[in-house]
Amino acid sequence: MTLTEGYLTTTDGIRVFFQKAGTGPDAVIVPNAAYMFDDFKHLAEHRTVIFYDLRNRGRSDAITDASKLKGGVHNDVADLEAVRAYFDLARVSLLAHSYVGFVVALYAMRYPEHVNRVVQIGPSQPLPGKQYPPHLQGADAVSAEANAKMMELQKEGPAGDPEEFGKKMWALMKPLYVANPEDAHKITWSVDHLPNESLIRLMTYFTQYLSPSIQTTNLTPQDFAKAGMPVLTIHGARDRHAPYGGGRDWASFLPDARLVTVEGGAHLPWIESPEKVFGSIDVFLDGRWPETAERLQP
């Protein structure tokens, strides 16, 4: 697999780190490289896959100018377009996880002429603030206990040692990403050496800029209709971070979308069901719907 790395510059002068893997004829862009590269680099076996770190994330530039952060996820949409343009790709497929699944959906609505296909894995819900019944969200005893401990830890604060605080907080958060907390060791992210990914800095960025920008994005039926390309949403039914009901909403609101449900999966469903998740993605990016993909009624 051919791999090149480097930086590109966004329209407002931010350096964004990228990794370009493979040389295949079909191009796929995957944001959040620091977290996604290792688990999804196999997609480059017969494709060109461009991973990149989001603005103010990973190995991209750390930003202190608030004016270049206040746009939140809308900055991320603009940066995704800058990545596509930098590599001079007329049309691409997109693959994203968690809140970045919201970002690629916005991109598909804004730039449909440049998008072949979209894969969302555990995306943030399309209607921020919508409340789902218990069977459509992953709240359980594990999340209740962890959230209580995190609240206590936050009350204590960093106590002069932000790094130690981050380690304690991450130890509480990590098991929530998988259905069975004993599987937390299967999460192989290695971002401790990246200043942008220090937990305090990341939490501050998310609460001050990213989350508010999502909460104030009010999508309409007309917006959803703009993303007419095939969209595959993969969602764990036991996702504690992004409600499973949100995945069902994406699959019912978008014109040509289908849902693959991982019944025993949480926020990283490829941990619980790698064959189903990776197999579905391969089939979909090759131009077909996975057998388990379900079409939902609005």
Contact 220, 253 (CB under 8 A): no
The three-state secondary structure class of 25 is coil
Which residues is 27 bridged to in the sheet? 48
Q: Which residue has the tokens 């992953």?
A: 138
Decide which of 200 and 110 is more confident: 110
The three-state secondary structure class of 117 is strand
* Region for residue 145 given its phi and psi (left: phi exceeds 0; alpha: psi -120 to 50; beta: otherwise): alpha
Domain stop point among 184, 207, 230: 207
Domain stop point among 152, 185, 207: 207
Question: How far is the C-alpha of 75 from the C-alpha of 95, rounded, in Å?
Answer: 18
0.75 exceeded by the pTM? yes
**What is the residue-averaged pLDDT of the chain?**
95
Q: Residue 164: is it exposed, middle or buried by C-beta count within 10 angstroms (0-12/13-18/19+)? A: exposed
Q: Does residue 36 share a domain with residue 111?
A: yes
At residue 168, the pLDDT reads: 84
pLDDT tens track for 58-105: 999 999 999 999 999 999 999 999 999 999 999 999 999 999 999 999
Contact 250, 126 (CB under 8 A): yes
Q: Does residue 130 share a domain with residue 40?
A: yes
Question: How far is the C-alpha of 169 from the C-alpha of 212, rounded, in Å?
Answer: 22
Decide which of 173 and 18 is more confident: 18
Q: Does residue 222 share a domain with residue 190?
A: no
Handedness of CA 24, 28, 33, 37 (dihedral sign): negative
At residue 26, the pLDDT reads: 97
Contact 177, 139 (CB under 8 A): no
Q: Does residue 15 share a domain with residue 112?
A: yes
43 CB-side CA count, 13 A: 30
Contact 72, 214 (CB under 8 A): yes
Considering the domain boundaries, does residue 121 fall inside one?
yes
Domain stop point among 192, 207, 222: 207
Q: Does residue 51 share a domain with residue 36?
A: yes
Domain count, the chain: 2
Considering the domain boundaries, does residue 291 fall inside one?
no
Q: Does residue 252 share a domain with residue 112?
A: yes
Strand ranges, E, within the chain: 3-9, 15-21, 27-31, 48-52, 92-97, 115-121, 231-236, 257-262
Q: How confident is the model at residue 1 (pLDDT cuts 50, 70, 90)?
A: confident
Handedness of CA 86, 89, 90, 94 (dihedral sign): negative
Question: How far is the C-alpha of 76 from the C-alpha of 71, rounded, in Å?
Answer: 8
Q: Does residue 191 share a domain with residue 67?
A: no
pLDDT of 49 strictly over 70:
yes
Q: Which residue has the tokens 């931010």?
A: 14
Tokens for 180, please give them.
Answer: 């069975």
At residue 160, the pLDDT reads: 66
Question: How far is the C-alpha of 234 from the C-alpha of 179, rounded, in Å?
Answer: 15
Query: Of all residues in the chain, what percent carry a pLDDT higher than 70?
Result: 99
Q: Does residue 76 share a domain with residue 113?
A: yes
Considering the domain boundaries, does residue 168 fall inside one?
yes
CATH of the domain at 50: 3.40.50.1820
Considering the domain boundaries, does residue 290 fall inside one?
no
Q: How confident is the model at residue 279 (pLDDT cuts 50, 70, 90)?
A: very high
At residue 139, the pLDDT reads: 84
Tokens for 254, please give them.
Answer: 């978008």
Considering the domain boundaries, does residue 293 fall inside one?
no
Considering the domain boundaries, does residue 101 fall inside one?
yes
Q: Does residue 275 share a domain with residue 159?
A: no
Q: Does residue 155 share a domain with residue 126?
A: no
Q: Does residue 22 share a domain with residue 115?
A: yes
pLDDT tens track for 154-193: 877 766 677 788 788 888 899 999 999 999 999 988 888 8
The range of the structural domain enclosing residue 54 comes to 3-137+212-285
Which residues is 234 bridged to in the sheet? 121, 260
Strand (E) or helix (H) holding 155: helix 141-156
Tokens for 204, please give them.
Answer: 């501050």
At residue 33, the pLDDT reads: 97
Q: Does residue 105 share a domain with residue 41?
A: yes
